[in-house]
Amino acid sequence: MSDPQKPSDPYDPAASGPPSVPQPPSYGAYPGAGQQAPGGDAAPGSAPQQAYGQPQSTPAGGYGAPQAPYGQPGQPYAPYGGQPSSPAGGNGLAIASVVLGGVGLLLSIIVFGGILGLVGLALGIVALLKKTGSRLLAIIGTALSGLAVLISVAVLVVGLVAAGSVRDSIDESSGETGGSSSPDVAEPSEPTDDASEEASSENAVFGDVWSYDDGISVSVSAPQPFTPSETAAGADQAAAVVFTVTVQNDTGANYDPIEAYSSVSSAGVEASQVFDSAQGLMGSPSTAVPAGQSATWQEVYSVSDPAQLVYQIAPGYDYDAAIFTS
């Protein structure tokens, strides 16, 4: 008989019955899984067996933890020994400053170039203060824009000075109107008894010739007593005197004597011009004087004191007045 405490030998020919076949372990079980320690407890270090077909759990952070999907961006890495690089958009202000400064420099000969330079200068300064992007581009843009502004201002100042000089030259060459300038007093070609004194630097005496640079010259004879007719107008003072006026035209163009205007004062009192149609005294003629010729006419004034007379005449509205005294 066999010992009941001794396990049977499957290869023992004396053992009764067919030999037992070992059963495979359950799917997914670890070696030793499902074995219990004496007393009914699980063996130390063993994990509980999960049912067949259930997903296997993995401890957090252990092997097989979920990874980031392929193609997803990971954490950015800073360059070795430096800060993360700034985005390309940080150069926008600096690039705009360079473009505006370059265009403004090309157009700096006009005011528009200076305006572009001002805008570019502001953008360049802002780019430098923000400290983003290329500092070199910001410095170049600021320099170009500042140069454009300086050149535009210089061109504007030079233009204003040149315009003022041209205007002054035109005024000096043409006088107050096309050709007359400061009058020069000259000695008469044929002195008379009434013109015994030389002309002063400012006034002439009766009988002298007052010349202008454009070729017009004026002479006024010494006043002579005059008796107005009964139909004369303007004889309202103590006495009446007549002046003989001569205008010589050496300008090379026709001269209109009707543009001449005159006035007389006597002892500080304004005289009144007398118009006497009965004697043909109606002021200056209206017929043009050709170049190289002269016109002569008489003017009558009613004065308070014939001994103190000042006669003033201008050949035209744009000429300086010539002053004759007794």
Listed by start position, the domains of the chain span: 88-174, 184-325
Mean pLDDT calculated for residue range 82-102: 71
The whole-number pLDDT of residue 18 equals 55
pLDDT at 243 over 60: yes
Q: How confident is the model at residue 120 (pLDDT cuts 50, 70, 90)?
A: confident
Provide the pLDDT for residue 61: 46
What is the pLDDT, as a whole number, of residue 173?
66
Stated as kind and residue range, the H or E segment containing 23 is: none
| Closest-CA residue to 247 (of 202, 180, 195) | 180
**What pLDDT sits at residue 199?**
40
Which has more confidence, 298 or 104? 298
Q: Which residues of 205-240 are buried (b: 16+ CB within 10 A; e: fewer)?
A: bbbbbbbbebbbbbbbbbbeebebeeebebbebebb
Reading phi first (left if > 0) and then psi (alpha if -120 to 50, else beta), residue 291 is in: beta
Query: pTM higher than 0.85 for the full model?
Result: no
Q: Is the pLDDT confidence value at 186 over 60?
A: no
Query: Does the pLDDT at position 193 exceed 50?
Result: no
* Backbone dihedral angles phi then psi of residue 104, each to the nearest 5 degrees: -60, -35
Structure tokens at 88: 């390309």
Could you tell me the pLDDT band of residue 216, with boundaries at 50, 70 and 90?
very high
pLDDT: which is higher, 112 or 265: 265
Strand, coil or helix: 90: helix
Q: What six digits make up the tokens of 164?
A: 């003022």
Indicate if the pLDDT at residue 219 is higher than 90: yes
Distance CA 235, CA 237 (A): 6
Q: Please check whether the domain covering 184-325 is classified as CATH 2.60.40.1240.
A: yes
- CA distances from residue 85 to 77, 90, 91, 133 in whole angstroms, order as listed: 10, 10, 12, 9
Over range 12-19, report the average pLDDT.
53
Give me the pLDDT at residue 225, please.
94
Burial zone of 302 (CB within 10 Å; 0-12 exposed, 13-18 middle, 19+ buried): buried
